[in-house]
Structure 1
């Protein structure tokens, strides 16, 4: 029985209606009808295809007539998966396309499932109520580059109009005239051409005028009319698209028809262009939302909208999404090309069972090997084996990724070619995988994916004897398996001799000779320079790859000679693996206070740090772990060290060395060779990179395995079970008790609250750690007090008690020190050597302070007088914490003493008795000293306050006395000097008031006399003004203006009733100023009279008379003569105002 005798249709006679390439162009041209008929006849309306049709139709029918939007559809699938075929079938079924012989789309499909037939029937009923049905479809990118213009052309063509917008507008004009059908009939097959050339076509003009002779006198006149009426149209916008689509669909109708618009290969058309994406988005929104739910838009693309970022913007516009996958492709192939005839299953099944051993041997150990689940598909796939079909799919998918189209289109055609080629073989002869090579080698070579050297070698061998032909087949498989080698860790198929033989065997009954020949032929090919073996896998070798291989071998030898380099590489990988294994074991928490303890990773000889858990890393590559274990067992049980022992596996040691060598050598070659410029070079580079990656992965895996098997020991020999990370954490936790034996004394989560409360001088701060007794009785405080000795820096105390064997937190140490200081049990001095109060210092200063234990014990009898002194000084304090404010007390006493005197005439300020001695003390010593002198200091403080008050009371009078003397009471200057020099401000009785009275009397008399002199001069001047006839002629306003201008204004009599009023009056106008005012009055009177004359006689000029000292009548006569001469001369120019 031959293979072809098992098929429903002999492969030699089977014809693919579309040669495996589905295209949509709807409505179809007459020459495409036969192809479409063939597609309908072989359409497998099943699985995702049937489900997709049903979902599309039901979604659309749910929107018709409801005034809403029709949900647009996105059909996705790898290139050729049947998405275009499905869209084409949808269009044919939408209109139930009728063929010339009366056959319909529905009738041609072999089986239309109920879930598709039912909504189609509902669509027909809805179409009768509407304006019928229209289906339009084409591939974007084959026409205009603008999607709106392309979509409009698709719709126009579907309603029988030219896709050109300008020609369509002419067609709509003909329809409006009612002559479109007549003109179309008259022009016949040339209608489209003539209407596109409506200006130049005389046939078109004649046909129109025949129906409407009154439009123009001749076709030429009509041409001119149409040229002006239909100019070049604008670019097609979405608004224009909507208008024209509506007009096109309503052509010859009274209602909108139920319309399907298919835009094929939209994703390929968009090409990640955001502008085109936005246009498609807008078109989809407009077509779906503006046609009463009667327009269904269907778009196709290789990927689902959610899988591509640039397409995600379309998600909301295409709510119905249909995805086609590989399972759907397989189903189509089995029901078409590979469909078996009735009765063929039994012999095929018998043959497969008989050869089950050979079949199960193929690709053993890989994920593509034959499985029990394949038994059901094996009959359907024959003469392809399921395992080989999966290899084909991997190869085709890889080629599809590179753009060669390993898809349904490719698989249908390739599967049919395979069935034809092996159809005449006896049943039991399967299609080998190398058959696939001939289906794409030319395209792969043209695309630069197949090296020319390899292609030429294969072609040469194929024309040779049987041995060479087998070599050619082997080379084909080496090439194809090399294409999918980067994913070999996932699928497990590698180009090894056995695998190559598995995929070459045709006769499943046995080709043992072929299996024996393959390894030998591979070595012959290697000797010829065609292939190379890398780690048991065979790869193509070109001239360039040979150069790469030679460089690799040289570097490999150099690395093997450098053992230190290999050791370094192994150590780096080991550190990386340890880092991964111990990722969560960087530290552990300690106690209820949850202190973080770091785990320090150390080499065997590293010095352990002062704090934290030492984790010693011991490697079997560097040490004898048996000896190490004995040393660990002999260590003290107080030793906090944890040991991680990483075993060395002799069985994989050579493998690790080989992997490290390969990795380093390959990486070096990649760096040295740089970026190749040829396809062969890039292929060699890819192979070298794959070799490096694989070797690196192996090396890492061996080291990871070693680390995963590591053992963790506690010093003393205790083995801790579990994974390395968890075991290390457990060991570190166990080590805490060894490293910090005193930790429990200070382990409490409340120490931060102790510190905060102590900073607020709370005497009960220790209650935050549940300690109600005296602070010095707490273990932490005891330890601190015992450590103080003659004095310790805060930083030293912190360092000691946060480190082993204590390990307390810094809050614990700081809080305890502040509590002890507040309780007067510790004396604190700052970095300046002066006593310091910790609550008043920033935290960072605590480390610079020095702490000493208090030796002086203070009794309540000593505290009482100091409390009285503090109260008198106005300083707040807490009982039993008086020592915290003693520094402030000394400052307050010094201030009070300083204010008991001052600058003369105040007495000299006093000083605080024993102040230098006090400043040399601190803490309880200072408290005791102040307690002894408290009575004296309180008296002193009272006296100092009284003196300061008295000074404050008398200083204002003293300032007034100084002011009066400075203003003119010179008789009192001597008394003032005596008071200042003698510092007698506080003398009793107060010496200043009598001095003020005497000075005031003196100044009162002088001020009254000055005012009287001014007043007499004023009266005299006023009289002169009153006697002057010119002045009398002035109005009151004019007089006032002149007075202001000349400074002739009445002065108020100064107030002299009190010494302070006298001082204020003289400060405003002194005695010398009064005298100058008296002297200036006559001249101001003269100025006022001259101003009055000038006002009444605008031409009057002032004439200055000459000054003179007259001693006789003769001199007088001489002066008068000169005055007369000067005035007379001036009178010639007008009135004169003499001025002396």
Structure 2
């Protein structure tokens, strides 16, 4: 096919389709023998392919290795493998010499614009090699971490019979990871740290520490460095040159994008080979050898799950917590039978730990959850919520939240109960409230204790105060009851129910009487101020003052009404 080039050479030059520089390059190569002659033929074919028109669909013959070799074949009968291999090697040589540039899967003759891009690329590569260690290290670390994250993206760590999911992280920071919630595999490498130093640190952590390590050894360093420089130099060249404004620039840009893509493939291939040789350790120094690097990391994560959550398997590792939770939400006292627990809820290991954590104070639901979800427990939220609900249903803990469900547990405050109420006690409490005009649903006994006590205080305030009302009622005993919490308050109301009911009845009657007599008292005082003086009136005023001074508004018979009759 390159014979066509020779036949059309003069015409191509005359029509300015073939530049003198390109012609001289091809002729110079062909004037020699051996590889140089074959290189000239390669350049001729590539030039001719570039001149071919596209068909109606926009497709054309591609100047790739296969097409170039086929167009240069002299003998189609004998095996062409050796010839094709020779062509492939010479094309690579021409690319390395910047005579050709790679554009996708094709090869193009280098242009003046392409040479300018090549010069920019070389400048960037030299700069990176001399002072780009931070960028090189950053990209190397990024690719190493990506390799391990990609290798483990399908790994699932399930702990215990209940198959509790354990989230994990491929840790890439310099500081030690926090081992309270997620499992961690700490990636260390030979570019940043000496292997013996890292191994000593791993041993010093101890065999109980919940941490796994992967050490990436430093090898193929120069190959990897070279590929990273090629990638970064191509990237910086693309940024520096910006968007193309001519076909030549478009071609040069595509060539640089191809170079960047090939460098990326080379980096990822090298990273893969390097990382596959990594060694996985457990804290304490045990080497994990389960198979592939993925197998080793997965095995290490299973091992550290038991280290990080030692209080899981013996206390909360039960299947079907979700079913038990559903029953607890319905108020079923036998909800734990769904997980195979036939004893009292308060005796379950999870309940014992939750009651111990609440202690003598008050804890919010989110505090309880956060405490037991983390190490050393690692309990599921369903397990924690189920026990909270059951302890509340059985009155071993109390909360002001009347309609407790999973959504409200987080913000609800819980207190451990020392005293418990029977069903009969609750019925009595609701009857006390009912007699006071307060509607109370089952389970709202504590909530409406506030309503009941507030009602008593309001009545007390209404029957005492400024003269002629009686002296203010001492309600300290109500405040004492109010200061109690949970079942202790309810039991006190039951203990003092007769006195409380009597006071409620008495105060309510007096409040009604005061409400009736106060308007008459106000009228009596006003009339006395306008009445004429005289002996009989002075006597009446003294009697009015006596009602005030002696706080006789509630005296029987009604002293105010009689005096109002006298003054009118």
TM-score normalised by the chain length of structure 2 = 0.70
Post-superposition shift, 1:662?
1.8
Corresponding residue of 1:694: 262
Q: Are 1:531 and 1:541, in contact at CA under 8 Å, matched by a contact in 2?
A: yes
Residue 481 of structure 2 corresponds to residue 918 of structure 1: yes
- What is the aligned counterpart of 2:371 among 792, 800, 805? 800
Which residue in 1 is equivalent to 2:505? 942
Question: Do the aligned partners of 1:462 and 1:472 also contact (CA within 8 Å) in 2?
Answer: yes
Contact 1:823 1:880 in 2 (8 A): no
Is the partner of 2:181 in helix, strand or coil? coil
1:783 to 353, 363, 378: 353
Deviation per residue, 1:753-792 (Å, 9 max, x gap): 47755xxxx5848558666754432322211222344536
Q: Structure 1: where are the runs of 5+ without partners?
A: 1-431, 485-490, 829-835, 1003-1140
SS in structure 1 of the partner of residue 289 of structure 2: strand
| 2:322 alignment partner in structure 1 | 749
Question: What residue number does 1:476 align with?
Answer: 44
Q: Do the aligned residues in 1 keep the contact of 2:26 with 2:43 (CA within 8 Å)?
A: no
1:103 alignment partner in structure 2: none
| The one of 552, 556, 561 aligned to 1:984 | 552
Change (3 A) 1:965 1:672: same
- Name the SS for the 1:749 alignment partner: helix
Question: C-alpha distance in 1, partners of 2:222/2:267?
Answer: 11
Q: 1:645 to 1:963 in 2, by over 3 A?
A: same
Contact 1:821 1:838 in 2 (8 A): no
SS at match of 2:176: coil
The corresponding residue for 1:664 is: 232
Separation in structure 2 between the aligned mates of residue 968 and residue 477 of structure 1, nearest angstrom: 133
Instruction: Report the TM-score, using the length of structure 1 for normalisation.
Output: 0.39
User: What are the equivalent positions in structure 2 for 1:220-619 lying under 5 Å apart?
Assistant: 432=1, 435=4, 452-453=19-20, 456-457=23-24, 473-479=41-47, 500=68, 503-508=71-76, 531-532=99-100, 540-562=109-131, 563-585=133-155, 588=157, 597-603=166-172, 606-619=176-189
1:424 is matched with none
**Counterpart Cα distance in 2 of 1:530 and 1:803:** 60
Report the CA distance between 1:613 and its aligned residue. 0.9
Cα separation, partners in 2 of 1:435 and 1:825, compared to 1, 3 Å: same
Q: Could you tell me how far apart the structure 2 residues matched to 1:845 and 1:862 are?
A: 27
The total of aligned residue pairs comes to: 543
- What secondary structure is seen at the aligned counterpart in 1 of 2:355? helix
- For residue 985 of structure 1, report the CA deviation from its aligned partner: 3.4
**CA 1:617–1:519: 2 relative to 1, 3 Å:** closer
Structure 2 runs not aligned, ≥5 long:
53-59
| TM-aligned CA distance change 1:591 to 1:465, over 3 Å | closer
Structure 1 residues 957 and 686: CA distance shift in structure 2, 3 A = same
Match of 2:55 in 1: none
Q: CA RMSD in A?
A: 5.8
The 3-state SS of whatever aligns with 2:170 is strand
Contact 1:801/1:807 (8 A) holds in 2: yes
By how many angstroms is 1:927 displaced? 5.0
Q: Tell me how far 1:825 sits from its aligned partner.
A: 3.7
Does the 8 A contact of 1:743 with 1:806 survive in 2? Answer: yes
Matches of 2:382 and 2:86 in 1, distance apart? 80
Conserved? CA contact 1:461–1:471, under 8 Å: no
Matched-pair contact (CA < 8 Å) for 1:901–1:951: no
Native 8 Å contact 2:395 2:420 kept in 1: no
Deviation of the 1:703 alpha carbon: 2.3
SS in 2 for 1:601: strand
Give the distance between the partners of 2:48 and 2:444, measured in 1 at CA. Answer: 91
- Partner Cα distance (1:679, 1:804) in 2: 62
Distance 1:616 1:463, change over 3 A: closer
- Shift in Å, 1:470: 7.0
CA displacement at 1:698 relative to structure 2: 1.9
2:522 and 2:7 map into 1 onto residues whose CA distance is: 122
What SS does the corresponding residue of 2:558 show, helix, strand or coil?
coil
Deviation at 1:642, TM superposition (A): 4.0
Alpha-carbon shift at residue 967 of structure 1 (Å): 11
Report if aligned partners of 1:434, 1:504 keep a CA contact under 8 Å in 2: no
Distance 2:497 2:188 in 1: 71
Instruction: Name the CA distance, whole Å, in 1 between partners of 2:433 and 2:518.
Output: 29
- In 2, Cα distance between equivalents of 1:515 and 1:611: 59
Question: Is the Cα contact below 8 Å between 1:765 and 1:819 reproduced in 2?
Answer: no
Q: Secondary structure at the match of 2:121?
A: helix
The 3 A distance-change label for structure 1 pair 729 and 990 is farther
- Is 1:907–2:466 an aligned residue pair? no
Moved more, 700-709 or 971-980: 971-980
Select between 848-857 and 435-444 the one with higher mean Cα deviation. 435-444
SS in 1 for 2:473: coil
CA distance in 2, matches of 1:521, 1:804: 62
User: Which residue is 2:57 aligned to?
Assistant: none
Shift of 1:503: 3.0
The CA deviation string for residues 704-739 of structure 1, in whole angstroms up to 9 with x for no partner, is 455567676666444344673x77556545543332
Q: How far did 1:986 drift? A: 2.4
Following the alignment from structure 1 to structure 2, what is the Cα–Cα distance between the partners of residues 768 and 629?
48
Partner of 1:189: none
**Alignment of 1:892 onto 2:455:** yes
Q: In 1, Cα distance between the equivalents of 2:346 and 2:440?
A: 21
Deviation string, structure 1 residues 962-985 (Cα, Å, up to 9, x no partner): 899899999998476665565433
- How far, CA to CA, are the matches of 1:444 and 1:609 in structure 2? 73
Shift of 1:821: 5.4
Aligned pair in 2 of structure 1 residues 754, 907: CA closer, same or farther (>3 Å)? Answer: farther
Deviations 1:983-1016 (A, max 9, x none): 43322123455456567xx6xxxxxxxxxxxxxx
How has the CA–CA distance of structure 1 residues 767 and 483 changed in structure 2, closer, same or farther, with 3 Å as cutoff? farther
| 8 Å CA contact 1:822, 1:881 repeated in 2 | no
Q: Structure 2 CA distance, aligned partners of 1:977 and 1:658?
A: 109
Asked whether the 8 Å contact 1:753–1:768 carries over to 2, the reply is: no
Query: Aligned in 2, Cα 1:691/1:655: closer, same or farther, shift over 3 Å?
Result: same
1:589 deviation in Å?
6.0
| Aligned equivalents of 2:438, 2:305: Cα separation in 1 | 48
Structure 1 Cα separation of the partners of residues 191 and 49 of structure 2: 38
Counterparts of 2:20 and 2:352, CA distance in 1 = 89
**Pairing 1:837–2:400 present:** yes
